[in-house]
């Protein structure tokens, strides 16, 4: 059971309420005139709380600087009900008439707090009590004038922005047509290359068949009386022992490199554990970060089967009982290939890849001096030159074909890609804008990349263009087009960098501000004619309604 009793005589009227003058009801302080009827006193000089009309209060409690209504509606002109949530209070705030400018609501907790909130209340009516001696003279005339001037400038800016926008859209149509034309051309070229490939494959096959015939003949004639088998056997012996020797060297090298790797990893492990993140040394942080990336990548790679070492060792020290192969047996050539197959192909590549990737990152962070490249051993091919030429020719034709194919795919993808409203960003491709902010210079290129450059000339990749978004720009209180740049350089202990460019309408491409709103997430605010689409769509009306809120610096 809940009841509210109001007893005894009320106190004298506070300054906050105004007595009815004759029949005319003076508007209570802070109330929007549109709501005045709700507060018109009854014949018994009472009014009702707005959302709980069953609660009826004497008119003297209206604006008496004490909160009586549970919904706070008895104090439109004071801060007495400021503790009541805006979801409960039906009044949006204290209504500033702002004659000479635009009327506005100011939150109740700003009333009589000793500050002239001219941004909202240019008439100074929020400080009517004059607490602590504060005086807020009406400044609506000058503020209104300035605002109208600014609005006019904005209108002009929008108009020129829209003109540029329309030109961009026209250009975009043209650019798109170019792409479509290109598709036709590339499709034709692909057909041509397909024919060439077929032709060259046939030529090569023919040449190879002829060559095989020659080799067989040579094998059959023998050499210095030795049998064909014997020769092959000798050859195999030499070759195998040569392979074993080389494998052994390779194995030693692999072991040495593995030890080197272990040692380096240990250094880095200790480095990571013992460095003090408190120092916040960017270089160290980056090094640790790339070390972690390296580890993560390493952990996800297929772990090698544990017995490859055994296999290699086996191959190295295996003794072959050649006498078993002495009898005439034509299969020996096959065996040779079989022996080749014994070499685990992953060994070489595995060790080298790992080491080279580690080395790259070590060099990158200045922990290791770069190594001079060794002269790579020349491959000792035995393919006859004319066949080699034909093969090379085919390969190059095939590669041309696949190039054209991927070009086509790209062009086709391009047509379906989102280039923003009316594909307007097509016309801005590779247009770049940059601006200095703090110790960095920030830039972004339309449909390209966003970058942060430092004074020393170093540059950080903030992300590549991935598309568009619509987001709320809380400064101009409007939803705007946002260009997304993602998958930039990964941050230490953080995500990959990304940048989001919030666009506002203007004829000029210009960065207004850049801030790192979240760790490694950059917010650009920029102007571009490409952002004038919304206003253009709304026409002249859009320019006018946009005026009150939109601001372009």
58-87: which residues touch another protein (CB under 8 A)? 58, 64-66, 68, 79-80, 82-83
> Angle 489-492-498 (CA atoms, 0-180°, nearest 5)?
35
SS3 content of the chain, % helix, strand, coil (to 5): 50, 15, 35
Query: Residue 238 CB, nearest distance to another protein (Å)?
Result: 21
Comparison of 92 and 114: residue with beta carbon closer to another protein: 114
Query: Residue 390 CB, nearest distance to another protein (Å)?
Result: 38
Q: Which of 159, 208, 211, 311 binds another protein (CB under 8 A)?
A: 311
Query: Residue 394 CB, nearest distance to another protein (Å)?
Result: 38
**Per-residue H/E/C for 433-475:** EEEEECCEEEEEECCCEEEEEECCCCEEEEEEEEEEEEEEECC
Comparison of 309 and 394: residue with beta carbon closer to another protein: 309
Asked if residue 347 binds another protein (CB under 8 A), the reply is no
How many residues sit in the footprint of another protein (CB under 8 A)? 71
Query: Residue 433 CB, nearest distance to another protein (Å)?
Result: 19
Asked if residue 478 binds another protein (CB under 8 A), the reply is no
CA distance 137 to 387: 96
Query: Residue 272 CB, nearest distance to another protein (Å)?
Result: 7
* Closest-CA residue to 546 (of 168, 150, 167): 150
Query: Residue 211 CB, nearest distance to another protein (Å)?
Result: 33
Write out the binding residues for another protein, residues 258-287 only, by CB under 8 A: 258, 262, 265-266, 269, 272-274, 276-280
Query: Residue 130 CB, nearest distance to another protein (Å)?
Result: 10
Comparison of 259 and 392: residue with beta carbon closer to another protein: 259
CA distance 406 to 387: 29
Write out the binding residues for another protein, residues 94-113 only, by CB under 8 A: 107, 109-110, 112-113
Write out the binding residues for another protein, residues 479-498 only, by CB under 8 A: 492-494
Helix (H, G, I), strand (E, B) or coil at 455: coil
Write out the binding residues for another protein, residues 165-224 only, by CB under 8 A: none
Looking at the DSSP assignment, which residues form a beta bridge with residue 472? 479
* Closest-CA residue to 192 (of 460, 401, 451): 401
- Site mask for another protein (CB under 8 A), range 416-455, x = bound: ----------------------xx----------------
- DSSP for 373-439 reads PPPPPPP-----HHHHHHHHHHHHHHHHHHHHHHHHHHHHHHHHS--SGGGGGGGGTT-EEEEEETT
Comparison of 221 and 319: residue with beta carbon closer to another protein: 319
Query: Residue 378 CB, nearest distance to another protein (Å)?
Result: 32
Q: Give the binding range for another protein (CB under 8 A) out of 194-202, 205-213, 296-304, 379-387.
A: 296-304
CA distance 513 to 415: 32
Q: What own/partner pairs with CB < 8 Å and gap ≥ 24 does 44-52 have?
A: 47/74, 49/73, 49/74, 50/90, 50/91, 51/88, 51/90
Phi/psi for 371 (5° steps) reads: -95, 140
Q: Give the binding range for another protein (CB under 8 A) out of 53-61, 166-174, 403-411, 544-552.
A: 53-61
* Closest-CA residue to 108 (of 73, 58, 160): 73
> Angle 251-252-254 (CA atoms, 0-180°, nearest 5)?
60
CA distance 539 to 291: 55
CA distance 532 to 512: 16
Query: Residue 100 CB, nearest distance to another protein (Å)?
Result: 24
Comparison of 82 and 445: residue with beta carbon closer to another protein: 82
Q: Give the binding range for another protein (CB under 8 A) out of 34-42, 152-160, 168-176, 301-309.
A: 301-309
Comparison of 113 and 393: residue with beta carbon closer to another protein: 113
- Site mask for another protein (CB under 8 A), range 500-539, x = bound: -------------x-xxxxx--------------------
Looking at the DSSP assignment, which residues form a beta bridge with residue 514? 524
Query: Residue 15 CB, nearest distance to another protein (Å)?
Result: 13
Comparison of 390 and 462: residue with beta carbon closer to another protein: 462
Rounded to 10 deg, the angle between the 308-317 and 228-274 helix axes is: 140
Asked if residue 298 binds another protein (CB under 8 A), the reply is yes
Q: Which of 31, 57, 59, 501 binds another protein (CB under 8 A)?
A: 57
Q: Are 450 and 436 in contact (CB under 8 A)?
A: no
The beta strands (E) that lie in 71-187 are given as 94-96, 104-106
């Amino acid at each position: 059971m809940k009841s509210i009793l109001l007893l005894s005589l009320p106190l004298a009227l506070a300054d906050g309420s105004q007595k009815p003058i004759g029949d005319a009801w003076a508007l209570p302080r802070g109330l929007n005139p549109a709501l005045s009827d709700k507060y018109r006193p009854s014949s018994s000089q009472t009014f009702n709380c707005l959302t709980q009309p069953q609660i009826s209060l004497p008119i003297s409690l209206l604006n008496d600087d004490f909160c009586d209504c549970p919904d706070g509606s008895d104090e439109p002109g004071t801060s007495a009900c400021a503790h009541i949530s805006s979801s409960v209070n039906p009044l949006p705030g204290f209504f500033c008439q702002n004659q000479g400018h635009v009327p506005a609501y100011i939150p109740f907790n700003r009333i009589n707090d000793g500050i002239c909130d001219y941004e909202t209340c240019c008439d100074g009516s929020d400080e009517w009590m004059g607490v602590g001696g504060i005086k807020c003279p009406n400044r609506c005339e000058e503020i209104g004038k300035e605002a109208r001037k600014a609005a006019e400038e904005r209108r002009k800016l929008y108009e020129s922005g829209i003109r540029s926008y329309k030109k961009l859209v026209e250009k975009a149509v043209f650019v798109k047509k170019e792409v479509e034309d290109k598709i036709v051309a590339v499709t034709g070229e692909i057909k041509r290359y397909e024919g060439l490939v077929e032709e060259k494959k046939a030529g090569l096959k023919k040449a190879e068949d002829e060559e095989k015939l020659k080799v067989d003949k040579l094998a059959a004639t023998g050499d210095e009386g030795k049998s064909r088998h014997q020769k092959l056997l000798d050859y195999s012996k030499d070759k195998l022992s040569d392979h074993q020797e080389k494998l052994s060297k390779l194995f030693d090298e692999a072991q040495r490199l593995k030890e080197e790797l272990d040692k380096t990893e240990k250094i880095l492990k200790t480095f990571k554990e013992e460095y003090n993140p408190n120092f916040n040394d960017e270089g160290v942080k980056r090094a640790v970060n790339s070390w972690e990336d390296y580890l993560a990548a390493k952990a996800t790679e297929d772990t090698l089967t544990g017995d490859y070492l055994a296999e290699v060792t086996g191959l190295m020290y295996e003794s072959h009982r050649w006498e078993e192969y002495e009898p005439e047996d034509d299969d020996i050539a096959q065996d040779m290939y079989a022996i080749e197959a014994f070499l685990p192909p992953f060994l070489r590549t595995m060790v080298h890849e790992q080491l080279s990737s580690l080395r790259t990152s070590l060099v990158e962070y200045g922990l290791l001096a770069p190594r001079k490249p060794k002269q790579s051993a020349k491959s000792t091919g035995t393919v006859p030159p004319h066949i080699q030429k034909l093969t090379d020719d085919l390969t190059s034709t095939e590669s041309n074909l696949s190039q054209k194919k991927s070009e086509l795919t790209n062009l086709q993808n391009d047509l379906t890609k989102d280039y923003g409203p009316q594909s307007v960003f097509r016309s801005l491709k590779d247009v770049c804008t940059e601006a200095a902010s703090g110790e960095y210079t920030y830039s972004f290129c339309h449909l390209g990349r966003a970058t942060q450059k430092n004074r020393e000339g170093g540059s950080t990749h903030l992300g590549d263009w991935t598309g568009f978004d619509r987001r709320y720009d809380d400064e101009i209180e409007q939803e705007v087009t946002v260009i997304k740049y993602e998958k930039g350089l990964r941050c230490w202990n953080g995500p990959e960098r990304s940048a989001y460019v919030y666009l506002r309408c203007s004829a000029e491409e210009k960065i207004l501000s850049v801030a790192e709103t979240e760790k490694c997430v950059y917010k650009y605010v920029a102007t571009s004619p490409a952002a004038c689409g919304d206003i253009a769509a709304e026409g002249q009306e859009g320019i006018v309604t946009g005026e009150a809120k939109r601001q372009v610096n």
